[in-house]
Structure 1
């Protein structure tokens, strides 16, 4: 963030300071005045200056001594200094001035055009330096973001390979078994396993395609009036393989009253199925998943609670981002691609709804809440 450029004007005579202010005053520039070297040092401790204009001949600490103090201080050593002098000055005096840190001398009485011209150069340099600092900081932030994105991409590709390799291995083994002489082979069990893994792969690919469609604005909702209680079983059916695989207990609580939405039923099924399936995959075997539907006008509220692995506090802010899979679920069988909750968030928002993590505690579980507008 850039700050307003400031000039420091130092002269022991009030009339000289007023004259300098009148000559240098311009929009976007602050002028700070000091009547002594000591007063100037106090201002330097509190401000950053683009230029210091110092009177050479002052009682007490003169301009040369003030310049030496400024050069000895890391905060002020880079401030350009122009000395203002009433005397003609010999070569030795000028040498001492440059040695003290001066970039230039201006003779009194001051020529306004020369003062404005020289001070403008240092003002422009200061502004450019600030812009360079801002651009540098932006580049640092961009580099960090690109590095983080690259790490996410690499992790995603690794998870994708894992998620696709496992069902492919099952399909390959199933085909090999079916090619053997029948004998006592339970072909129904083999086919069932193959169908489950085909569905798993199809779901992964569908999620990837949906994310791509949403990001490119190519997905549209086919809204109609739907009863949430009627489509909920279809949504839970999507998550049933993950629930069965983990041997989880599923508890569903619905209100007595009908809850009607103006929504795309296929997408609502997808939202619920993804959240419940997510809970099933991230819960150790033999866990419990609770799905509760309630009404709080003007919203229908769906709550999904589990007693799974939970999410670390520092990772809870990224779980709805693309590939924002929590580190503590990596390695869990069927952990997914880390895009399920990102897809849920985008689908919910397309319905003008909201999804949030209500709470999550490591090794105790998580609670998610989806709010969707009720039909008017």
Structure 2
């Protein structure tokens, strides 16, 4: 928008009409004082400022405007009928003006100057936007690099832990074999098997995230019984975590079209997390129902819970809650993978939680979506 400042009404009207004819948005002020008030309230690309005015003259107005942080980038063109000597022109430039035009004004020249200032303004604005975007991208690269380095550090630590344990159990097995201690051998084999399963799970997650990133995560979708799947999952989870009771409420009572193995992966992730982040508790609630051809499944625990900020980020890649990262193992990619699996089934995933009062992870998906998502 352009602000024209002149104490002569005829000048305001004629300039305004010419500029508006060429689709410029124009505002006017009949004194320096009024102009300053408008500059404080509005943003102007250009101010056309008369030098000779009662009260504050144009130079004083320009100097005052240059002190406003909001308007310091605004271009000013001075108009003067009397002060045409070099010293006045020099004063105009030193007061913050970018041009000084003497009256009577050649409207064609003024219009060309206004168009030039607008073109410069647009170029400057675009450059500023490009600079801002570039800086944001640089910060995003830096953050991505930081997350990558952090992930590599976490992954190497998490992978090393079960490997070190397996190595230790193998050494113990060698000693037990030499002694012919069958019971001890079985015990060490069982513990080594647990660590190998952890290692296998970590490697599977790493492979999954690699496939997601490259768009190569494959799905084998077909009809399957969710109720049967849940019975099997609950039985397996109970065998490996006998101290936890999983309370199942509801039934699907219909076949689900999807990748049975991947849906099982999501449910196991929910249950495993519920057990992991619920120290001191021994019950988990699993709710399932189907309504209007939509499956709803939720796993609720009574554990440590999450803050709203944590809930917002929990499905992001590599996200780990700072205060729990030292207490609980993990790569921070399980829920990210789960969210991608549910999205590929045309569904949505979410969490309801209160800090210190537990969490409920859930997903909703169509039961019979036969097209690939």
Q: For the residues of structure 2 that align with 1:321 and 1:77, how far apart are their CA atoms?
A: 42
> Which whole-Å deviations, capped at 9, do the CAs of 1:328-353 have from their partners, x for residues lacking one?
321234x3211111111111111112
Residue 304 of structure 1: how far off its partner (Å): 0.5
> For 1:317, what is the secondary structure of its paired residue?
helix
- The separation in 2 between residues aligned to 1:346 and 1:71, in whole angstroms, is 53
Q: Secondary structure at the match of 2:335?
A: helix
In structure 1, distance between residues paired with 2:32 and 2:303:
68
Please list the CA deviations of residues 54-112 of structure 1 after superposition, one character each: whole Å capped at 9, or x if unmatched: 12223343323322332344433443322112236223333433343333221222223
Aligned to 1:75, the other structure's residue is in SS state coil
Aligned to 2:230: 232
Q: How does 1:210-225 map to 2 (within 5 A)?
A: 210-225=208-223
CA distance in 1, matches of 2:204, 2:153: 19
- Name the CA shift for 1:74/1:224 in 2 (closer, same or farther; >3 Å): closer
1: distance between equivalents of 2:75 and 2:201?
A: 65
Q: CA deviation at 1:133?
A: 3.0
Q: How does the TM-score come out when normalised to structure 2? A: 0.88
- 8 Å CA contact 1:10, 1:36 repeated in 2: yes
Residue of structure 2 equivalent to 1:352? 346
Aligned equivalents of 1:94, 1:16: Cα separation in 2: 21
Tell me if structure 2 keeps the 8 A contact 1:229–1:254: no
- Residue matched to 2:133: 138
In structure 1, C-alpha distance between the alignment counterparts of 2:326 and 2:139, rounded to whole Å: 26
Q: TM-score, normalised by structure 1?
A: 0.88
Which residue is equivalent to 1:3?
none
Structure 1 residues 86-235: aligned runs within 5 Å:
86-87=81-82, 89-180=84-175, 181-184=178-181, 186-235=184-233
Runs of 4+ in structure 1 displaced over 4 angstroms?
A: 237-242
Cα gap change, 1:214/1:266 in structure 2, threshold over 3 Å: closer, same or farther?
same
1:363 to 356, 361, 368: 356
Question: Distance between the aligned counterparts of 2:241 and 2:137, measured in 1?
Answer: 41
* Contact 1:236 1:272 (8 Å CA) reproduced: no
Query: Structure 2: how far apart are the matches of 1:73 and 1:373?
Result: 58
Q: For 1:102, what is the secondary structure of its paired residue?
A: coil
1:203 deviation in Å? 1.4
Cα 1:278–1:220, aligned 2, differ >3 Å: closer, same or farther? same
Residue of structure 2 equivalent to 1:65: 60
Taking a change above 3 Å as real, the CA distance of residues 96 and 271 of structure 1, as seen in their structure-2 partners, is: closer
Superposition map of 1:258-273 within 5 A: 258-273=253-268
Mark the runs of 5 or more structure 1 residues left unpaired by the alignment.
Answer: 1-5
In structure 2, distance between residues paired with 1:125 and 1:340? 51
Instruction: Please tell me whether the aligned partners of residues 303 and 359 of structure 2 are also in contact (alpha carbons under 8 angstroms).
Output: yes
Matched, 1:251 2:251: no
Superposed CA deviations along residues 124-176 of structure 1, whole A, max 9, x for unmatched, are 33223322332333234334433433333233223212321221112101221
Cα-Cα RMSD: 2.5
| Match 2:277 to one of 278, 282, 304 | 282
C-alpha spacing 1:110/1:238, structure 2 compared with 1 (3 Å): farther
